A = this chain, B = another copy of it.
Amino acid sequence: MNFNTILGSVDFLEFLRGKKASFLLSASVTKTCEIPNISQAGIPGKLDLTPTLDAEFLCTKEVRSLDDIAQTPKGVPTPALITRATHELNPFSNIEILDLGLSVKPKLRYFKTYGFDLEPSRRIDDKASINAMEVFQMGVQFAQDYELKDDYVILAESVPSGTTTAQASAMALGYKCKNYFSSSFKNSPEDIKYLTIKKALANINEDDEVFTKLSNVSDNMLIFNAGFVLGSTSKNMKVVLAGGTQMAAVLLIVNSVLEMMGGSIDSSNIALCTTKWIHEDENSNIKALLAQLKFPVNAYASDFDFRESNHPALKLYDEGEAKEGVGCGAALCYAAINGINKKELTQKIESFLG
């Protein structure tokens, strides 16, 4: 296993080789996921449970708030399996959950779950009504107060329909986004997504202030994590943003906030890590998203795929049916810099599927 460099140099990730990581999962619900067919990241009609189930499975290998592991209609298993398999073969030192507005609290003992008194945010086609400034400041404060016991933080997300809110956020902030955003569908449901984003953008004005726009069209994870990035830079904490186009949107939000404030950051301790499926996706372009940042950023993609597997459900990843989530891209990069063998990892993932 290895990784490829999307932007920057190999040095950041090579420096982290062999070092210890704390894994933080930003788990959040935007009711945008209730729009029929907007996402396949979970069980139809119960998509709001996905981040709760992902948190439970990641920590315990058990799904407690439902009888079965989240399965999508076509049977694509949650990427939480990949992250969990990595954790079993070369454990993260610590997993913690950030409850950024969940419908159901994960049923976990011992594992720290940070609460912020946030509710699931509203559908973006009907004004999300987030107090964006407050959520952003929560992220800044949390990063500043966070006592890192390891060498670096992997900051991941689980937000069903999160690519829709990410794209809406980036578009609202004026970034070029056409064909740059990923979806968990192979054949992106452009119509539903497009209509949702179009309706969302109709609720804002071009000259609205950054946080006003985000309040209407974004989700708690994007805004909080952008704050986290900003807060982390003031203390030189090394942060791996674990995700694809959603984490790119987090960085675009940071970029817009900095522009608005006339500020700047030392971004040398920030990197984004994602999957090969995102890096090589023909229907999105993460590099083009990141290229719009005013600050430099390191970005890497794992070279892992399911070529070693014969399991039809896993093969769907290689066919583009699922690409990212629950930090699986960063977990795979972490696997690469910690000597995990591809075959062993594949077998571990397969073992979860029975």
Contact = CB atoms under 8 A, between A and B. Distances in A.
B94 A19 contact: yes
A94 B18 contact: yes
Contact of A19 (B11, B93, B108): B93
A268 B110 CA distance: 9
Interface stretch (A33-41, A55-63, A125-133, A316-324): A55-63
Interface stretch (A72-80, A83-91, A182-190, A249-257): A83-91
A264 interface: no
Nearest to A93: B18
B60 A91 contact: no
B111 A59 contact: no
A180 interface: no
A15 B109 CA distance: 8
Interface in A14-70: 14-15, 17-20, 59-62
A9 interface: yes
Interface string A305-342: 00000000000000000000000000000000111010
A91 B11 contact: no
* Number of copies of this chain that the complex holds: 2
A114 to B, nearest CB: 15
A61 to B, nearest CB: 7
A12 interface: yes
A239 B337 CA distance: 25
B93 A14 contact: no
Interface string A97-120: 000000000001111000000000
A205 B60 CA distance: 47
Given A18-B91, A91-B17, A93-B18, A10 B62 contact: yes
Given A12-B109, A18-B94, 17 more contacts: A10-B60, A11-B108, A11-B109, A11-B110, A12-B110, A14-B60, A14-B110, A15-B110, A17-B91, A18-B90, A18-B92, A19-B91, A20-B93, A89-B339, A91-B338, A91-B339, A341-B344
11 contacts: A10-B61, A11-B109, A14-B59, A14-B60, A14-B111, A15-B111, A17-B88, A19-B94, A88-B339, A91-B339, A109-B268
